[in-house]
Amino acid sequence: MEIPIVDLARFTDGSRQHREEFVQQLGKAFEEVGFVTVRNHGISEDLIADIYKYVQQFFALPLARKKNYEIIELGGQRGYTSFGREHAKGSEAPDLKEFFQFGQMVPDSHPLKKEYPDNVLVKEIAEFNATIEKAYRAFEKSGKALLSAISLFLGLKEHYFDEYVNEGNSILRAIHYPPITQEPRSSIRAEQHEDINLITLLVGASADGLQVLTKQNTWIPVKSQPNQIVVNVGDMLQRFTNNKLKSTTHRVVNPPRELWHTSRFSIPFFLHPKSSMSLACLASCIDATHPKQYEDITAGEYLEERLKEIGLKK
């Protein structure tokens, strides 16, 4: 199995025929594989370089200073989460990573403000906060375009998802997998899992390691070129489409022994809807051959359930 490559500009700027071709190409890839790599995604190379630079500076800070940005009661949804706190659903072994999360921003007077805590602002790195906010908005824009194409593939209005993802509960996560300093108990840095959200946009990574589980139950590496991002279906979209679109199992494995001394950095954007969105299976995805697989639930209820399963909330 190969990860398909799609060109988002064919949808955002292309002719009617190019748009229709893109919709079918993306939809088929998400039906059969669950992952694509995307060219012309709209996130500038300079912005990507800046966000990686400042993220690496943050994780290079002493642990005591990083822990100033860890607020346990926020369940990892804002600020710093220290090494080994998160684990995959169904696994007791902690993932070998630390991370920093930045979330949705709304005015204090906004009805959703009580759901969106203030972001944790880093004092030591002058450009960190402004750059991560700019990256958040760029990811959000590209993600909305991809969801518009998915809407058309599902037979919905093009902007079906807009009312749910505008001011939605999306998260930008900066991840650091530190160097391996002793014989690891496992060959896995991040245990196999599926993402919680609608779709995930991943801009590069500083090292290899991401793998996807195929239908033949084999693991294959996922690699993207510098001008591409990787996008995959999350469990919310799989649930909403009654398994028509596939939330693919993936993991991050340890590097070869000769690279144990190196860190790995990764920056995924988890595109979430507002908590009020119903994830009830689309009627058009239910028939005699594909009976309804899931009970009705809202995005907020499902997120809460999953955060408890992975150890970030009690």
Residue entry with tokens 């909305």: 144
Share of the chain above pLDDT 70, in %: 90
Looking at residue 42, which CATH number applies to its domain? 2.60.120.330
Residue 181 has a pLDDT of 76
In a domain, 30, yes or no: yes
**DSSP string spanning 224-280?**
--TTEEEEEE-HHHHHHTTTSS----EEEEPPPGGGTTS-EEEEEEEE---TT-B-P
pLDDT tens digits for range 167-200? 999 999 999 988 887 766 665 666 788 899 999 9
From 97, 77, 79, select the one nearest 87 (Cα to Cα). 97
Give the best-scoring range by mean pLDDT among 237-241, 259-263, 305-309: 237-241
In a domain, 65, yes or no: yes
In a domain, 78, yes or no: yes
Q: Could you count the other beta carbons within 10 Å of the beta carbon of residue 259? A: 15
Measured CA to CA, the distance from residue 304 to residue 167 in angstroms comes to 18
In a domain, 95, yes or no: yes
In a domain, 220, yes or no: yes
Q: Where are the alpha helices (DSSP H) in 103-261?
A: 128-153, 162-165, 235-240
Can you point out the beta strands (E) in the chain? 5-7, 35-39, 79-81, 98-103, 171-177, 188-193, 199-205, 210-213, 219-221, 228-233, 250-253, 264-271
How many domains is the chain partitioned into structurally?
1
Residue 107 has a pLDDT of 94
Domain that includes residue 20, residue range: 5-309
In a domain, 163, yes or no: yes
pLDDT tens digits for range 55-66? 999 999 999 999
From 41, 90, 14, select the one nearest 230 (Cα to Cα). 41
The two three-digit tokens of residue 306, written as one number? 């999953």
Strand partners for 231: 36, 201
From 53, 141, 135, 132, select the one nearest 100 (Cα to Cα). 132
In a domain, 314, yes or no: no
Q: Which residue has the higher pLDDT, 72 or 162?
A: 162
pLDDT tens digits for range 68-126? 999 988 877 899 998 877 655 665 566 778 999 999 999 999 999 999 999 999 999 99
* The model scores a pTM over 0.85: yes
In whole numbers, what is the pLDDT of the chain averaged over residues? 90
Share of the chain above pLDDT 90, in %: 66
In a domain, 69, yes or no: yes
C-alpha distances in angstroms, 261 versus 6, 53, 183?
A: 35, 19, 12
Check: CB of residue 138 under 8 Å from CB of residue 14: no
